[in-house]
Chain A
Amino acid sequence: MVGKVEPVNGSVKSRTNQSTSAAMQAATLKKDMLNNIFSLKSLKLKTKQQELLIRVSILCLVYVLAFMTRLFSVLRYESMIHEFDPYFNYRTTLFLTQKGFYEFWNWFDSESWYPLGRIIGGTLYPGLMVTAAIIYWVLRFLSFSVHIREVCVLTAPFFASNTTLVAYFFGKEIWDSGAGLVAAALIAICPGYISRSVAGSYDNEGVAIFALLLTFYLFVKAVNTGSLTWALGSAFGYFYMVSAWGGYVFIINLIPLYVLVLLITGRYSMRLYVAYNCMYVLGMLLAMQIRFVGFQHVQSGEHMAAMGVFFLMQVFYFLDWVKHLLSDTKLFQAFLRITVTCAVGVGAIAFGVGTASGYISPWTGRFYSLLDPTYAKDHIPIIASVSEHQPTAWSSFMFDFHILLFLFPAGLYFCFKRLSDATIFIVMYGLTSMYFAGVMVRLILVATPAVCLISAIAVSATVKNLTLLVRAKDKAAPSGSGKGSSARGSSKGLVDHSQPFQRNGAIALLLGAFYLLSKYATHCTWVTSEAYSSPSIVLAARGAHGNRIIFDDYREAYFWLRQNTPQDAKVMSWWDYGYQITAMGNRTVIVDNNTWNNTHIATVGRAMSSYEDEAYEIMRSLDVDYVLVVFGGVSGYSSDDINKFLWMVRIGGGVFPVIKEPDYLVNGEYRVDKGAAPKMLNCLMYKLSYYRFGELTTEYGKPPGYDRARGVEIGNKDIKLEYLEEAFTTSNWIVRIYKVKPPNNRW
C-alpha cells in the first residue's frame, strides 16, 4: 500500500509548503485512482513467489503445447486410429471395456492365426489397454459420454504431456530447476518422441516412455535420498513399465549397469544399497504378475545382469560390515581378496551351470540383434524386414533431433565437470540409448528423453553463464533467483575488464541462443506436420493443381469385407494387414502383425509365391475363403505387396526350400516387365496384383498396363485366373480382394 502523504497543516507552514502540499495531494489522488484500477500492484509479490509463478505458468504452457502439437492429423483427417499395431490395441481395449477385466485377462482369440488361434491374455502387455479403459471409466463416471475410440486416440498426447512434467522434475533432480524447465520444453516438441505418440497412434510406446522416465526419475531420487518411499515408488514405476512395453528389458539392464559403474567408481553408499535392493526385489515380484513376462526375471539371460549385481551388492554390504567390525586392516585386506574371489567364482559357476543346463535361456533374437546388429540380417529375415528395424543414418538423427545433436556433447561435458550420482546416471542413459538408437531407427524414441535432458543441461548452463556476464555490472547483487549462480559467480575472474564489450557480446550470444532454439521449434513443428502426422491408413497426395487428394481405399476394402462376406469367412493376406482386417473388417485372418509363428507366415509366403495351382492346395488346406492384396500400380503407392514380395520369398524360402529367391530375379535384379523371370510372371502374387491391369491406361502417353509404382510396363498382361475370382477392387485399385472358388463338383 502506498502511504498517503499527510497534507501539511496549511496555517502554520509557508506558502511554498502549501503549494507543494496541494501538488502532492493531487498526485496522491491520481495514485489512488491508479491503485484502484490496477489493484495487482497492491499484491506486490516477493521474488520467490514471482519465480514460482513463472515456473508454474511455463509448465502449464508446455503441458498444453505438448498436447496441441500432436493433434495435426485429427484436425486434418478425423479422429481415427493410425497404422497397423494400434488397431489390435484398439480391438483389445474395446473388448476390455465391453466384457470386463477377467474376460480380457483370460481371452483366447480364435479370429486370428486361423487354425491356431492366439492366447491374447497371455501374450500382450496390458498396461496401455488398462490405462485407456481406466480413463474411459473415469470419464464415464463423471458423466462425459465419450466413445472409447476418442479416448484411445487421445491417450498418447495426454501421456506425452505428463512426460513433460516428469522431465521437469527429473531435470530439477539432476541439475536445477532451470534445466528442468528447458528439458520439459524440449521434450514437448521433440520429433523423436512425437513420431510415436501423435494423436491416433495408440501404441505401447506412447505410455511406455512416460513409465520409463518415471521409473528412472524415482530411482535417481531414491539413490539421492536413500529413502525407502522413493525406492518403493520406483518399483511400482517399473511394474507399470513392464506392463506397458517389451522395452522394459532396457531398464532392467541399465539400472544394474549404473549400479556397477557407481561401485567401480567408489560411490557405494547405504543409499544406493537401499534403493537398488528395494527396487530390484519388489520390481521383480511385481513384474512376474504379468503373464507375458512370467518367470523371465529368474530364467532369461537378458535379466541375469540385474541378479548378478544384486548379489554383488550383498557382497559389498557384507564386506563393509566386516570392515566395520575388524580393526585390523591387513587382516581385512586378506579377507577382502578371499571373499571377492569366492564370490566371483561361485557366481560364475552358478551362471555356467544355469546356462549349460538350459534353465537360463539365452538372449532372444530381438535383443541379441541389438548387441550384434549383423545377426538379424543373416539369421532372422522377419526382424530384418521391418522398416523400423533398419539401422540409422545421419539424416534420421538430424530429422529427429535437430540442434539437440550439438547440445548433447556439450551437455555431456557439463555432466562430466560436475559428477554426482545423478549425473552419472543421465550420462549412462544417454550413451547407451544413443548407441541403441544408432542400431535401430525405432529406438530413437528411447534415446529422446536422455538427449533432451542432457541438452537441457547444456542450454541451462550456457544461458546461465551468459546472463551472469550480462548482469555482471552490479557486483553487489547476484540475483536471488539463480540458485547455483552465486557459487559460480565467485569463480569468474576478470569479469569487469572491458565491461561494455563483454556485456554486448554476451547479449549477442544470448540472442544467438534464442535464435537457435526458435529454429528448433520451427523445425519440430514442420517435421510433425509433414512427416509424422500421417495416419498410414488414409493416404494423401497433391493433385495437379496443388489440392489435396485423399485415398481412403483401405477402409473402403475393410468395410466391404465386413458387409459382404459371410461371418465365418477367412481372409489370407500378408501379415502387415492382419490387425486392421480383424479390427475393421471383423473377419478371421490367417497371419497378423504379431508374427509369433514363423512357419505359419512362411506358409502364406509360399502360397503367394507359388504358381496358382500349388497355391490353391495350400489355401484349401488353410480353409481360406478370400485373399487380399495391396497394389500400388494405379495410384503410384510404393508400399504395396509387389514391393514387399521379395520378403515373402525370403521368409517362405527360409522354411520351405522349394522357394528359391534367384528364381524370381533376373541377373540379381527384381523386375516385373517383359524381361522378368518366368516364375515371377506366373506366381500368385503377380496374377492377383495385375489381373485386368493390362487393359487399363494409367498415365497419359503411356501404354496400357503401365505400372506407376515401378515405372515400367508390365510383362504379362493376359492373366487368367483358374481357382480364384475377383471379388472387389477399391476405387484407386489399392486393395484387391479375391474369392477362392470351392473345388469343382465331381460329375
Chain B
Amino acid sequence: MRPKSENQNLSTTSSSSISDAPSSTSIDPIFLILRILPFSFLRPPRLRLKIPTFTLPSPMTVYALVLLTYFMVVSGIVYDVIVEPPGIGSTQDRVTGSVRPVVFLPGRVNGQYIIEGLSSGFMFVMGGIGIVLMDLALDRNRAKSVKLSYASAGITSVVIAYMMSMLFIRIKIPAYLR
C-alpha cells in the first residue's frame, strides 16, 4: 500500500487521481513519469478501487479442496484420461443375445471403467469423512444430540465404506483372500 503522507500536491491539476493520491513524497519514478506524461492533460475518473489483498484461506477450506483432489486421484482420473475406458462395460448374453452391462473390468488388477473408479473413490472418501466425524463428535463442546448424531453418522460411514470396499474388491478379483 502506498504510504499515506500529507497531501501536498494541490498544485497538480488533474490528479485528484485515485482515492489514495499522495505524490510529492513518493519516490516511485514510474509514478512520477506517469503523473507528467498522460495524466497532466488526461483526467482519470473517480473510482472506488482497492488493490486486492491476498489473504490466506483457512486450513479447513484448504482441507476441503484437498479432499476433493484426493477423491479424483484415487478414482483413477488419470487412468480415465489416458486410457479412455468406457464409462461402463457391456457383455452380450449368449443365450438371449441381450446386452448386459458389466460394472467391474474383470481380469486385471490395474484396469477400470470410469464409473467403478468413481464409486470406489467415493467409498474411500466416505470412510475418511466417517473418522473425521467421529473425532468431531468427541472434541467439541457442542450440544449432546449433535455429538451423538455426529458419532453415529461417523460410525455408520466407516462401516458402510469398509464393507462396500471389500465387496468391490471381491467382485473385481474373484481370487481375493483365498
- Spell out A's residues near B (CB within 8 Å): 264-266, 330-331, 333-334, 373-374, 377, 390-399, 403, 405-410, 412-414, 416-417, 419, 427, 431, 434-435, 437-439, 441, 458, 461-462, 465, 469, 488, 491-494, 497, 505, 509, 516, 522-523, 526, 530-531
- In the bound complex, do residue B56 and residue A393 qualify as a contact, i.e. CB atoms below 8 Å apart? no
B27 interface hit (Cβ, 8 Å): yes
- Select the stretch in B6-14, B37-45, B117-125 that faces chain A: B117-125
Question: Besides the contacts A409-B132, A497-B144, what 18 more A-B pairs have beta carbons closer than 8 Å?
Answer: A373-B81, A390-B110, A391-B82, A392-B76, A393-B76, A394-B117, A398-B169, A406-B128, A407-B128, A412-B128, A413-B63, A416-B62, A434-B74, A438-B74, A462-B131, A491-B139, A494-B141, A523-B177
Known interface pairs A406-B127, A410-B131; A416-B109 also in contact (CB < 8 Å): no
The answer on a CB contact under 8 Å between A405 and B1 is: no
Report chain A residues within 8 Å CB of B76.
391-394, 397, 438
Given A374-B81, A395-B169, A405-B124, also A416-B59 (CB < 8 A): yes
Q: What separation, in Å, do the CA atoms of A458 and B131 have in the docked complex? A: 8
Contact of B112 among A266, A395, A409 (CB under 8 A): A395
CB of A516 within 8 A of CB of B60, answer no
Q: Known contacts A405-B124, A461-B135: does B177 contact A396 (CB below 8 Å)?
A: no
How far does the alpha carbon of A226 sit from the alpha carbon of B76 in the complex, in Å? Answer: 40
- What is the distance, in angstroms, from B171's C-beta to the closest C-beta of chain A? 10
Across the interface, which residues of A come within 8 angstroms of B130, CB to CB? 406
- In the complex, what residue of chain B is closest to A413 when comparing beta carbons? B132
A interface footprint on B49-93 (CB within 8 Å = 1, 0 otherwise): 000000010011011001101100111111101110000000000
Given the known interface contacts A334-B3, A405-B124, A407-B128, the answer about A396 and B110 at a Cβ–Cβ threshold of 8 Å is: yes
The answer to the question of B35 belonging to the interface, with a C-beta cut-off of 8 Å to chain A, is: no
Are A395 and B109 in contact, with the CB atoms below 8 A?
yes
- Residues of B within 8 Å of A412, CB to CB, are 63, 66-67, 70, 128
Establish whether residues A492 and B138, one from each chain, have CB atoms under 8 Å apart when the complex forms.
yes
CB-defined contacts of B74 to chain A, threshold 8 Å: 394, 397, 405, 434, 438
- Return A418 CB to nearest CB of chain B, in Å: 10
B177 & A264 in contact (Cβ 8 Å cutoff): no
Q: Which of A334, A394, A413, A461 has the most CB of B within 10 A?
A: A394
Chain B positions within 8 Å of A419 at CB level: 59
With A and B bound together, what is the CA distance between A465 and B138 in angstroms? 7
Contact B135–A413 (Cβ < 8 Å): yes
Query: What's the Cα separation between A399 and B170 when bound, in Å?
Result: 11
| Chain B binding surface, main DSSP class | helix
Contact B135 A414 (CB under 8 A): yes
Say whether B125 contacts A393, CB under 8 Å. Answer: no
B144-158 to A contact mask, C-beta < 8 Å, 1/0: 100100010001001
Flag if B60 contacts A494 (CB, 8 Å).
no
| Contact A465–B135 (Cβ < 8 Å) | yes
Instruction: Write the residues of chain B forming the contact surface with A, with a CB cutoff of 8 angstroms.
Output: 1, 3, 5, 27-28, 56, 59-60, 62-63, 66-67, 69-70, 73-79, 81-83, 109-112, 116-117, 120-121, 124-125, 127-132, 134-135, 138-141, 144, 147, 151, 155, 158, 161-162, 165, 168-169, 172-173, 175-177
Chain A residue nearest to B140 (CB atoms) is A493
A690 to B10, CA, bound (A): 96
Given known A-B contacts A462-B134, A469-B138, A516-B162, A394 and B63 have beta carbons under 8 A apart = no
A376 CA / B125 CA spacing, docked (Å): 30
Interface centre among A391, A393, A403 (most CB of B within 10 A): A393
CB of B138 within 8 A of CB of A394, answer: no
Q: Point out the residues of chain A lying under 8 angstroms from B28, CB to CB.
A: 334
Return the contact of B27 from the options A334, A409, A438, A509 (Cβ within 8 A).
Answer: A334
Give the contacting residue for A408; candidates B70, B78, B81, B162; CB below 8 A.
B70
> From residue A323, how far is it (CB to closest CB) to chain B in Å?
15
User: Which residues of the other chain, B, contact A391 by a CB distance below 8 angstroms?
Assistant: 76, 78-79, 81-83
| Distance A438 CA – B129 CA, assembled complex (angstroms) | 21
**Contact call B127/A435, Cβ cutoff below 8 A:** no
| Whole-angstrom distance between the Cβ of A499 and the nearest chain B Cβ | 13
Pairwise interchain contact B177-A398, C-beta atoms closer than 8 A: no
Could you say which residues of chain B place their CB within 8 Å of the CB of A374?
A: 81-82
Indicate if the CB atoms of A408 and B135 lie closer than 8 Å: no
Q: Are A394 and B116 in contact (CB under 8 A)?
A: yes
Could you list 25 A-B pairs, sorted by A, with CB under 8 Å? Answer: A377-B82, A390-B83, A394-B74, A394-B121, A395-B172, A397-B74, A403-B162, A406-B127, A406-B128, A406-B130, A407-B128, A409-B70, A409-B124, A413-B128, A413-B131, A416-B59, A427-B66, A434-B70, A434-B74, A438-B77, A458-B131, A462-B134, A465-B139, A493-B140, A526-B177
Which A residues touch B125, using CB under 8 A? 409
Cross-chain contact of A373 among B82, B134, B151, B165 (Cβ < 8 A): B82
Q: Is A417 touching B73 in the complex (CB atoms < 8 A)?
A: no
Report Cα–Cα, A148/B33, bound state, in Å.
76
The chain A residue sitting closest to B159, CB to CB, is A512
| Contact residues in B for A398 (Cβ distance below 8 Å) | 120, 165, 168-169
| Interchain CA distance A331-B176 in the complex, whole Å | 69
**How far is B75's CA from A115's CA once the two chains are assembled, in angstroms?**
47
Q: How far is the CA of A458 from the CA of B132 in the complex (A)?
A: 9
Bound-complex Cα distance A491 to B79 (A):
45
Q: In the complex, what residues of B have CB within 8 A of residue A441's CB?
A: 110
By a CB distance below 8 angstroms, the chain B residues around A405 are 74, 124, 127, 165
